[in-house]
């Protein structure tokens, strides 16, 4: 895999899931204590919270999204992918997982403002959402060079390897996503990113990470051991 700046799933600088895999270089054998938590985490006092709800990959298909292979489900979403965006997720554990993946990936400077701006403004909530948008705009403008018309910065080179629930209820959910990508000297590096969601206006919304970047919700991880693996490591079928 070739390294590219601004990858998506936990971008320490810009936000999104791909970046952490290529920007985090300090190993964290147990990343959980280092990952920021927000107030919307499922409360253990809520009797509806399930610590590790079952998720079936049956019926899911994997499609390429500018270099990142993403899962799709006719039952759980996304129901709309118009304009390169993704929305319409079921109020189920599978729907929350799919929303976490699709929204986090799109909330990144890599795809240009035609993707990250509506994703962040419409699908990310919380007091730090506006800071995330500002930081992502700043990073895009820094990296765009001579590109015109809000063009994307290029393809990403990241694989989504697995996840682990922190808790799920029909109103809020929290999970960790593991992504892998090329680092320095052709080394594969991995990151785990804490994604928190809230059901609002008939869809799952992600809660912006404290400080307006995903860096506070991410840590490097040596492997995906101990996480639920995506089929074929998130590769396309």
Tell me what the mean pLDDT of segment 170-179 comes to. Answer: 94
- Please report, in angstroms and rounded to a whole number, the separation of the first and last CA atoms in the chain: 18
pLDDT of 46 reads: 63
Q: What is the pLDDT of residues 8-41, one digit of tens each?
A: 444 433 334 555 443 333 333 344 434 444 445 6
- Greater confidence, 47 or 169? 169
Confidence of residue 184 (pLDDT cuts 50, 70, 90): low
pLDDT over 60 at 107, yes or no: yes
The structure tokens listed for 126 are 């919380």
- Greater confidence, 9 or 204? 204
Report yes or no on 80 lying in a domain. Answer: yes
72 lies in which domain range? 8-234
Instruction: Give the count of domains, the chain.
Output: 1
Among 87, 132, 111, 84, which residue's Cα sits nearest to residue 18? 111
The pTM assigned to this predicted structure is 0.83
- Greater confidence, 5 or 16? 16
Report yes or no on 217 lying in a domain. Answer: yes
Confidence of residue 148 (pLDDT cuts 50, 70, 90): confident
Among the ranges given (9-18, 54-63, 90-99, 108-117), the one the predictor scored with the smallest mean pLDDT: 9-18
Report yes or no on 30 lying in a domain. Answer: yes
Report yes or no on 171 lying in a domain. Answer: yes
pLDDT of 219 reads: 83
Q: How many helices (H) and strands (E) does the chain have?
A: 4, 11
pLDDT over 90 at 91, yes or no: yes
Report yes or no on 20 lying in a domain. Answer: yes
Q: How far apart, in Å, are the Cα atoms of 26 and each of 29, 77, 164, 185, 219?
A: 10, 35, 21, 15, 8
Q: What is the pLDDT of residues 36-85, one digit of tens each?
A: 444 456 654 466 788 889 999 999 999 999 999 999 999 999 999 999 99
pLDDT of 25 reads: 30
pLDDT of 221 reads: 86
Q: Report whether 177 contacts 21 (CB < 8 A).
A: no
Report yes or no on 52 lying in a domain. Answer: yes
Q: Provide the CB-side half-sphere exposure for 236 (13 A, CA).
A: 8
Report yes or no on 24 lying in a domain. Answer: yes
Report yes or no on 3 lying in a domain. Answer: no
Confidence of residue 165 (pLDDT cuts 50, 70, 90): very high
The Cα–Cα gap between 153 and 102 comes to 18
Q: How far apart, in Å, are the Cα atoms of 173 and each of 22, 126, 190?
A: 26, 14, 23
- Greater confidence, 134 or 31? 134
């Amino acid at each position: 895999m070739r390294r590219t700046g601004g990858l998506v799933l936990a971008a320490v600088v810009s936000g999104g899931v791909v970046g952490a895999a290529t920007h985090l270089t300090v190993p964290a054998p147990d990343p959980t204590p280092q990952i920021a938590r927000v107030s919307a985490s499922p409360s253990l006092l809520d009797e509806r919270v399930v610590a590790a709800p079952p998720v079936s990959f049956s019926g899911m298909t994997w499609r390429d999204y500018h270099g990142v292979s993403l899962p799709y489900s006719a039952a759980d979403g996304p129901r709309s992918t118009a304009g390169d965006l993704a929305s319409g997720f079921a109020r189920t554990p599978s729907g929350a997982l799919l929303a976490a993946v699709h929204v986090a990936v799109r909330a990144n400077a890599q795809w240009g403002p035609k993707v990250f701006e509506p994703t962040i403004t419409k699908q990310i909530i919380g007091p730090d959402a506006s800071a995330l948008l500002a930081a992502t705009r700043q990073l895009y403008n820094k990296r765009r060079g001579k590109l015109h018309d809000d063009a994307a910065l290029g393809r990403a080179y990241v694989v989504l390897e697995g996840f682990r629930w922190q808790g799920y209820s029909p109103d809020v959910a929290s999970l960790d996503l593991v992504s892998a990508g090329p680092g320095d000297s052709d080394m594969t590096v991995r990151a785990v990113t804490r994604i928190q969601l809230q059901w609002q206006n008939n869809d799952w919304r992600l809660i912006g990470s404290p400080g307006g970047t995903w860096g506070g919700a991410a840590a490097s991880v040596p492997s995906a051991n101990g996480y639920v693996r995506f089929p074929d490591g998130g590769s396309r079928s």
